Amino acid sequence: MSVLSLRLDTLPRDIDVDDEGLFSILSNFLQPTSAPSTSEAARAVIKLGLESEGQLSYFMSAFFEIAMHLARQTPHNHPSQDRLVDLIQALRSTPASDDGQSPWSSLLLHGSGEISEIYGGKTLFLDTLVNSKLKAVPRAHFPIRKHICARQRCHADGR
Amino acid sequence: MQGRDATPTADEITGWLNLNSFLSRLWKSVGSVPDPEIQFEFYACVALRSALEGYSSFRGSARREEDRKADGALDCDVAVAAEWIDQAGPLIYAASFGQDGNGRESELVTAPGALYHGPEGLCGEHWEFWKKRFGELSTQDGVSEKSKSLALKAKLAMESIE
């Protein structure tokens, strides 16, 4: 297993959380040698989320954005691709601290917006990438954005 | 990123394959749940369509197959589509045919590629068309040997899943 060369400074935009802290946890976890366990990495992410000043939902979106940024840098046939998935599953299954449901169980919901951004407005498949080169693309061309936003509103409303 | 019509860099192409590998692996791990929150079916459908249908860009016109071969777009798209089959093929098949054999209606649809004239979304017609197209690409002139190999592997995997 080759050591991964991971970078945070190529992230397309600044995010208003401790992105360097998240990057440190994730980049250490994804290295094939001397890496923390999945549960240790999950605990570190959750701890950082608790220490974050903003809403946890925003932190989870930021986590997913950085996770996908690192997934881009991880070869498709590298074992760390599955390690990243394992970490997300570990976070989703985090036990609740009280009688309610753990907020981390909705991690995929908060990640869905980040994915739709990539597929719908920034980096499409190669043919579109050739044409658009990350230029702003009219949102009307991408019905998924509207759909995802509607889904998130429904979840936020408890529907 | 440079100009609007600049060719994607090698890093961009590699990153796109890697990211799709991550999403397809995530779907494989999450499984086919009623409300997965992430529309994995849509992303799989778009990946397969892009590689196999002469995908229509947002400008509304499909690029010529010869251009796609020449600038590496087809190689990238075939690799991405094959990755979705490799990681999540059984889920794609299940969503295409469904328990009642009629397929699961996709909530998200976009314009089909130029070569495909069947129903939208994941469905039996799409599955059969994509399998046929993987087979065609595996022997087609002008397709790289790597893409031919990936296309054949994907076709055989689809047959195995059935």
Residue of A nearest to B6 (CA): A130
Cα B112 to Cα A77, B74, B116: the distances in Å are 30, 17, 6
Nearest of A67, A70, A80, A76 to residue A35 by alpha carbon? A80
Residue pLDDT, tens place only, A57-92: 889 988 998 999 999 999 999 999 999 999 999 999
Predicted local confidence at residue B63, as pLDDT: 63
Q: Which residue has the tokens 């919901």?
A: A109
What are φ and ψ of residue A145, in 5° steps? -60, -50
Query: Which residues 28-67 of A are in CB contact (within 8 Å) with B?
Result: none
- Per-residue pLDDT for B109 more than 90? no
Instruction: Fill in the DSSP letter of residue A95.
Output: P
**Which residues does chain A have with pLDDT short of 70?**
12-17, 99, 120-159
- Per-residue pLDDT for B69 more than 90? no
Predicted local confidence at residue A91, as pLDDT: 95
Q: Please state the rounded mean pLDDT for residues B35-62.
A: 72
Interface contact A143, partner B, CB < 8 A: yes
Nearest of A130, A126, A148 to residue A139 by alpha carbon? A148
What is the interface size between A and B, counted as CB pairs within 8 Å? 123
Residue of B nearest to A86 (CA): B29
Residue pLDDT, tens place only, B124-149: 999 999 999 999 999 999 899 999 99
A130 and B5: CB-CB below 8 Å?
A: yes
The CA distance from A155 to the nearest CA of chain B, in Å, is 10
Residue pLDDT, tens place only, B2-20: 444 445 677 878 888 999 9
Model confidence at B50, in pLDDT bands (50, 70, 90)?
Answer: confident
Residue of A72, A85, A127 lying closest to B55 (CB–CB): A127
Predicted local confidence at residue B122, as pLDDT: 85
How far apart CA B63 and CA B67 sit, in angstroms, is 7
Q: What is the ipTM of this complex?
A: 0.85
